[in-house]
Amino acid sequence: MVMKQQPDQSSSLQDIWGFSCFLETLCKDGFYHEVTTTTKPVGPTVTYHDKEYINFASINVLNTHQEPDVMKHFLQAAKQYGLVTGGSRVTQGVSSAHKEMEEELTRITGKERSISFASGLLANIGFINAMTCKFDFSSTCGINNSDAVFVLDRDCHWSLWKAASHLEFGKQLFPFRHNDPKHLEILLKRLSKTHKKIVVVFESIYSADGSIAPMKELLDACEKYGAISYVDNANGFMFYGPEQRLFSEEFKQMNRATFVMVSFSKAVGMEGGAISGPKDMITMFELLSGTSLFTAAIQPPTASTITYILHKLEKHPEIMDQYLERSLKLRQVLEEKHFRLNDTPSYIISVIIGNDKKAVKVYEACLENNIMVGMFRYPAVKPGHALIRIMMNAGQTDEQLQCLIAFLEKMKDTYKF
């Protein structure tokens, strides 16, 4: 039997909690747009309620998931492994597809072992849980890492800050200025006098502004003061590293990091996340992360397809080379047309609008003109630094890119940014 909700009871309850009032204000100020519902596969274009948009908002930009061989592999894997593992890793186990995927990742990252999670976000939360846990199985079997201190780049992803929020700020948890090794070094110098367990966390490439960490200097500081390092490589995985690509010097440094975290929802284009690192610590993350023990794993056909895509991308580095070259060209054209862009020429292109209200107007005008972009404003970015984020999709035609450029030029004239 379905219980009918009394409308007046529901709204008065929500009023007590402040949700209705919050929603109303957000809508009025243009902060909230109803989440769009897609009715066809997402790729170079995206369809919402039968209206097609050129899609510059999705993060699986290589479009791997739409390729016929990948689809075929997924369907075969669904038949071979079934759709689900049926429970969490520790209670139910994982499929051989998971093991194979984790072994491939271990080989690619050059670490000792890897563990996968249902998402990159869960990997991050699980890492901080495990590294700060205090737990006794019996009087002789336990672990106590409640004396660990964490030093995070100020611009780290929400999942990292959220996971660390149980730590006392200024005592166990310290932010360092974004991509600033000197500031990190000052903190580590001080903390290493009183603490043995220090974890430094930063990202390889930051998703709002596309900036890239000065990995050599950050890892130098970690090594100098005996700190463990955790690099969230969600956005860089499979894109950057090889010699012929930009930033190869930085990304090569990842060999020195204690842990590397990846997401499979970006270059790989599927869903899931993983951490690679020292064998015993990774093994214990099964129990101590919480986000492995208390939830289900990646679905087996997805795990198998991730391995398939990893092999494909490794065998065909030109997929990434061509994508990065085209996205760099798009950036150059925007620069020539005097748009204000983020400083780092990574594949994440941000057009800086500045004023929040203008950014909302530009975003809404893009939608009206069948162009889907990402929009970041305070608190996602610093006040006065609102931006439109363009994630070019590998399947987009030159005409579709021209359409974006022409429309943004029109917006620039109208809103003077």
Ligand X SMILES: Cc1ncc(COP(=O)(O)O)c(C=O)c1O
Q: Residue numbers of the site for ligand X (CB under 6 A)? A: 119-121, 124, 157, 159, 203, 207, 232, 234-235, 263, 265, 273
Q: Tokens standing for 371?
A: 């162009």
Choice between 88 and 302, CB closer to ligand X: 302
Q: Tokens standing for 326?
A: 């085209």
Smallest gap from Cβ 125 to ligand X, in A, equals: 10
Query: In which element (H, E) is residue 261 found?
Result: strand 259-263
Choice between 120 and 126, CB closer to ligand X: 120
Smallest gap from Cβ 44 to ligand X, in A, equals: 20
Nearest residue to ligand X by CB is: 120
User: Count of alpha carbons within 13 Å of 86, Cβ hemisphere only?
Assistant: 6
Choice between 184 and 270, CB closer to ligand X: 270
Smallest gap from Cβ 205 to ligand X, in A, equals: 8
Choice between 264 and 363, CB closer to ligand X: 264
Rounded distance between C-alpha atoms, residue 102 and residue 65, angstroms: 20
Q: Tokens standing for 232?
A: 């969230």
Question: What b-and-e string marks burial along 67-78, b requiring 16 or more CB atoms within 10 Å of the CB?
Answer: eeebeebbeebb
What SS3 class is residue 340?
coil
Show the 3-state SS of 158-218. HHHHHHCCCCCECCCEEEECCCCHHHHHHHHHHHCCCCCCEEEEEECECCCCCCECCHHHH
Smallest gap from Cβ 318 to ligand X, in A, equals: 25
N-to-C CA span, the chain: 56
Smallest gap from Cβ 28 to ligand X, in A, equals: 28
Smallest gap from Cβ 277 to ligand X, in A, equals: 16
Rounded distance between C-alpha atoms, residue 165 and residue 173, angstroms: 8
Smallest gap from Cβ 25 to ligand X, in A, equals: 26
Residues composing the chain: 417
Q: Tokens standing for 339?
A: 């748009």
Choice between 277 and 411, CB closer to ligand X: 277
Smallest gap from Cβ 202 to ligand X, in A, equals: 10
Cα 81 to chain center, whole Å?
A: 27
Reduced DSSP (H G I as helix, E B as strand, rest coil) percent helix, strand, coil of the chain, to 5: 45, 20, 40
Choice between 59 and 191, CB closer to ligand X: 59
Smallest gap from Cβ 2 to ligand X, in A, equals: 33
What SS3 class is residue 266?
coil
Choice between 339 and 377, CB closer to ligand X: 377
Smallest gap from Cβ 327 to ligand X, in A, equals: 17
**Amino acid identity for residue 275 in this structure:** I
Give CA separation, 90 vs 21, 54, 78, 267, 294, in Å: 43, 43, 22, 29, 9
Choice between 120 and 210, CB closer to ligand X: 120
Smallest gap from Cβ 204 to ligand X, in A, equals: 8
Choice between 148 and 268, CB closer to ligand X: 268
Q: Tokens standing for 72?
A: 């075929």
Choice between 44 and 272, CB closer to ligand X: 272
Angle between helix 356-368 and helix 398-415 axes, rounded to 10 deg: 140
**Amino acid identity for residue 164 in this structure:** A
Nearest partner of 124 among 307, 273, 270, 319, judged by Cα: 273
Choice between 104 and 409, CB closer to ligand X: 104
Q: Tokens standing for 49?
A: 């309620």
